[in-house]
Structure 1
Amino acid sequence: MPSENQGLRSLIVAFATAGAFAAAASVVAEVGKRRAEEGYIEPPPLLLVVAEAAPWRSGSPPPLWRVLAPKGTPRVVEDERTGLVVAAEVEPEPEAVPTQEAAVGPSNPGDAAPADPVATAAPSAAAPTSLPTRAPAVPTPLIDADHRGMIPFYQALSRGTGLARAAHYGDSTIAADGITGTVRRRLQARFGDGGPGWVDAGLDPRWSARPDLGTKRTGEWETKSILLGGGNGRYGYGGVVSTAPPDGSLTITGAKGAKISSGTLTHFELWYQVGPGHGAFWANLDGASVGGAAADADARADTRLVSDVGEGYSKIAFGASGGPVPFYGVVMETAGPGVVWDALGVVGVGSRSFNYFNKAHLASQVERRRPELIVIQLGGNELGIPVLQRGDGHEYAPYYRAAVDLLRSGAPNAGCLIVTPLDQGTREGGTPMTKPAVKRQVAVQQKVAAEAGCAFWNAFEAMGGEGAIVAWGKRKPPLAWTDLLHLSAAGQDLVGQGLADAIEAGYDDWVATGGPDAAPPTPAEPPRGEVLPIPEPAP
């Protein structure tokens, strides 16, 4: 007979999951429409989970809960003491803009990655001499002939001054900042803490998360992404635009009382949009105003507020007044030396999702950010498209290459690193196995990387190749969830460790072969805070 705890767990999970699915119906319908337009033969994500997922087991989140649960819905978490799944009520958001003295309680939208029990090496300031073994992962180096894909980033690391920035684009694999957060911590431990870098405005937990930050939102923000559209081609540097309502605000601190950065944050930027009918914006650092202005204009344009604070800051707040204001994101950086690793994941996107960008707008946004490395990790949501179901999948190459070229258009002199999707599984006759299209897709992406002059890291092989998603799900604690699609926090950390190992090893080899002897490029700093009008997208 099931225990009372087991019965309560099942009841709560069933109730919460059903509520989340019902609330997400319109979103799923729109995603399905988009997928049909892009040629998918698989059903939309929610139906995939219903059709393929095994019965829920302890330790796994309810299907798509974090992705599709509406704002204000209780979160479902695993109680560490009793093992019960409990519903934690979300604190209601106040209606007014907080005063400078208002208490701000950090709210972590994601689960922090726990210490990886299977890793045999921890982040260290010392340069690694070889790729460590982190079972069940497989040590996997970068494929990068003569380091040509990584040289701009390696040069920035070797200077010992300023910041080395990376822009890591992807889907739900990185949207919770698991893999990217681990890479950021590893590289910052060795080369210096450049700060959190870019953070999407609004931090809507349905689309992305930053577990290292605490946030507090007021008002009903409206978020648009390149998955569902509605942003008139303007989705900022990160693929998400969030419009603050009149008197809406966002406050960002360190998570759970911790500092935002181990270094001293001295640089702040607020990226936003001006246009007809917009209100005004304001911004504070540690309660002191650093600027604000009317965002109303005859035509839409992109701009940013820039502030340098010599003594540093530990809390930021910004918002709208008198009318709505669309925000793209904020930048929080130290003076360096250090690494900044921008996590730019949007749940549900694929290569063709980037076609919803106004290309001039995206290029301008990336150019302003000045990354030395563009990292592209896409494809997990594309395994159902027809071109990957036949032959060797070569027809997929033009779609993927177009996304690579578009993302690099704003920083053509930056390095480029292509990271493959992780292993994904399906159930054939009830038996879980790797999806047949995964290996075709990985092979095509490797060929595109070579042709485009990008470094390549095979995350599929780093997991162990075919069948890895099944094996990782059987680990205790599990490294992958029962949906055969996503990794647990510990699994994401393990992949992030492997990627960081590969980057550091590549850098060490570049140094050992005389790479730093080449003079590093010194591009001119672009004007800051300027308003750049962007042409309207074609209808």
Structure 2
Amino acid sequence: EGEEPFAEVEVAERVAPIERIPALAPHEDDAAPVERAIENAAALDPFFAALTRTELRMPGAITRATHYGDSAIGNDGITAAIRGKLQARFGDAGHGFHLLGQPNLSYKHKGVSFQEKAPWSGCFIIFGCRKDGYYGVGGTTFQSTGGAEIKLGTAAKGPAGRKVSRFTLWYAAQPRGGNLRLKVDDEEPIVLSTKADALADRWHTIEVVDGAHALSVRAAGGGKVRAYGVSLERDGPGVVWDGMSQIGAYTRRMLHYDEEHFLRQLRARKTHLVVLMFGGNDMNPGFNLAQYKADYAALLRRVKAIGPDTACLVMAPLDHGEHKGARIVTRAIVPTIVEAQREVAIAEGCGFWDTYQAMGGEGSMGRWARADPKLGSGDLAHLTHHGHKVIGAMLYRALMASFREYRGRVVDTPLVELGAGFSGPPGGEGASEVISAGASDVAEETDAAGGEAAVDTDDATDTDAEPDGPGGAGVAIPESDDEPASDATPPGDPTSPTTPPAATGP
């Protein structure tokens, strides 16, 4: 009751074909000031070329971004805010990627419905628990010998995620692999065999009529199955912004991936932009600056190796505060990490956005924690629901400012110079055998715990008025750092997992 009614965003279709790139039409969002510009923004040209194809309403033109980060993006707050802004302007091409389960309780996406009917066993990349380095595009691999089941679909409420036209399952084939049962709505299920001579990445896409749908994914016996997650998309034109949170992760944990598997997964995702927002968990007494730079550079080189159609953007970590007498100040390590990320990002050919300075720099987390509405959490390391929206809106404005600059550079150039971009749905080569169109005759073993746990990730509070930034309507940030936040708690990440599972082999 009282919920904002769903109204799909209408993006005007282009009537006449064009041969040259026109000037970018003015948009009402572009009148707002940009709090912090993207540095080395020309590195994002592949993303902006894709966004131009989408803005020009070229058939099937989907612009994808894949956003990795630690708990700063843990509950899909910042990522959902950016997703919503871009989809409202350029078109809704779907929610994007969602894991097959919850690696921790803070993994809750907005704009989807999700049920763990019988949980899968998961291995989260931050623990380094797969010797083969196959963690899937989302950073967690799930397995079961039978009975584990999730149901993932469109949102039943809220302003986003109400339609889908394509589900793509991301999984692995392997020796002695078992069966996977896929069922859309009340349709007859299909069963996939995941047997293969060697460990290999696999994808299976199911097309549906654009609308509200849900997909059930169940381990159906016959051996152990391994899977990563599901992407939900629409035909486009439009934008997809993946939220790939790695809660509790040090930056270097991303190097746990087998490099070829990592590249294969991101190439199959057909993403135009990889965003990295790490650093919060690296702020510890054992921090080694030289090693940190080397690790970050190694990660960015892997991202750059995805291919020329994929750009990279480094987002600095949030400000992290601490009490100093009656004041809340920035922890001394924060500017050090921010500057290290800036240096490495630009050296490796990526864009850089200074989240710390966008917040206001020194002491900003204390001011955000006392803002009205409150933007910073009492732990002085994380943001509130409103704070996520503010950062998302800030990054959106910075991206659009750089996009306008890009369009100014390419105006009146032949449209063919944009290239064709990625074509077809996500996924790579290789598909497993479809055993049957029905699963009733497939014997199942069961290893999953019984009981159904519903995780309703529709976000009812997203219909609240949205604070757009420190200068935006309805946001008041104190100018002084002299008052501690009334609900401050000791620094730390209460959402981080604490007990790693034992390492396992393939």
TM-score, length of structure 2 as denominator length? 0.73
Give the deviation of 1:304 after TM superposition. Answer: 1.0
In 2, the alpha carbon distance for the partners of 1:308 and 1:532 equals 15
The answer to whether the 8 A contact 2:63-2:272 is kept is: yes
In 2, the alpha carbon distance for the partners of 1:179 and 1:524 equals 26
Q: Does 1:198 align with 2:97?
A: yes
Give the deviation of 1:469 after TM superposition. Answer: 0.7
2:51 counterpart residue number: 157
Give the deviation of 1:229 after TM superposition. Answer: 2.4
Q: Does 1:401 align with 2:305?
A: no
Higher mean Cα deviation, 221-230 or 522-531?
Answer: 522-531
Q: Does 1:297 align with 2:297?
A: no
In 2, the alpha carbon distance for the partners of 1:261 and 1:455 equals 29
The answer to whether the 8 A contact 2:62-2:237 is kept is: yes
1:148 counterpart residue number: 42
C-alpha distance after superposition, 1:474-493 (max 9, x if no partner): 12332111111111111111
In 2, the alpha carbon distance for the partners of 1:260 and 1:502 equals 23
In 2, the alpha carbon distance for the partners of 1:408 and 1:202 equals 29
1:374 counterpart residue number: 274
1:450 counterpart residue number: 346
Give the deviation of 1:276 after TM superposition. Answer: 3.6
Identity among equivalent positions (%) equals 30
1:423 to 295, 309, 319: 319
In 2, the alpha carbon distance for the partners of 1:443 and 1:324 equals 46
1:360 counterpart residue number: 260
How is 1:90-489 mapped onto 2 (pairs within 5 angstroms)?
127-128=27-28, 130=30, 132=32, 139-144=35-40, 147-159=41-53, 160-161=57-58, 162-206=61-105, 208-232=107-131, 233-244=133-144, 246-257=146-157, 261=161, 264-289=163-188, 291-322=190-221, 323-384=223-284, 386-387=286-287, 393=289, 396-428=292-324, 431-489=327-385
Higher relative contact order (CA 8 A, sep 6+): 2
In 1, the alpha carbon distance for the partners of 2:85 and 2:294 equals 34
In 2, the alpha carbon distance for the partners of 1:309 and 1:486 equals 39
1:522 counterpart residue number: 420
Higher mean Cα deviation, 194-203 or 316-325?
Answer: 316-325
Which amino acid in the other structure matches residue 85 of structure 2? R
In 2, the alpha carbon distance for the partners of 1:174 and 1:216 equals 21
Give the deviation of 1:415 after TM superposition. Answer: 1.4
Give the deviation of 1:180 after TM superposition. Answer: 0.7
The answer to whether the 8 A contact 1:367-1:410 is kept is: yes
2:16 counterpart residue number: none
2:8 counterpart residue number: none
SS in 2 for 1:187: helix
C-alpha distance after superposition, 1:148-189 (max 9, x if no partner): 211111111111231001111111111211111000000000
C-alpha distance after superposition, 1:499-525 (max 9, x if no partner): 011111211222233357261122564
Q: Which has the higher helix share?
A: 1
Which amino acid in the other structure matches residue 158 of structure 1? T
In 2, the alpha carbon distance for the partners of 1:524 and 1:495 equals 29
Which amino acid in the other structure matches residue 249 of structure 2? V
Give the deviation of 1:254 after TM superposition. Answer: 3.2
The answer to whether the 8 A contact 1:214-1:252 is kept is: yes
Gaps of 5+ in 2: 4-10, 13-25, 433-503
SS in 2 for 1:513: helix
Give the 3 Å change call, closer, same or farther, for CA 331–464 of structure 1 in structure 2.
Answer: same
In 2, the alpha carbon distance for the partners of 1:408 and 1:292 equals 37
Higher mean Cα deviation, 318-327 or 341-350?
Answer: 318-327
Give the 3 Å change call, closer, same or farther, for CA 237–380 of structure 1 in structure 2.
Answer: same
TM-score, length of structure 1 as denominator length? 0.69
SS in 2 for 1:282: strand
C-alpha distance after superposition, 1:238-286 (max 9, x if no partner): 1111224512211123344458635x52222101112244321011222
How is 1:65-76 mapped onto 2 (pairs within 5 angstroms)?
none
C-alpha distance after superposition, 1:374-428 (max 9, x if no partner): 111111111225455xxxx455321211122223333343111111001012234
How many residues are paired up?
404
Instruction: Write out the 4+ residue segments of structure 1 that deviate beyond 6 Å after TM superposition.
Output: none
The answer to whether the 8 A contact 1:128-1:504 is kept is: no
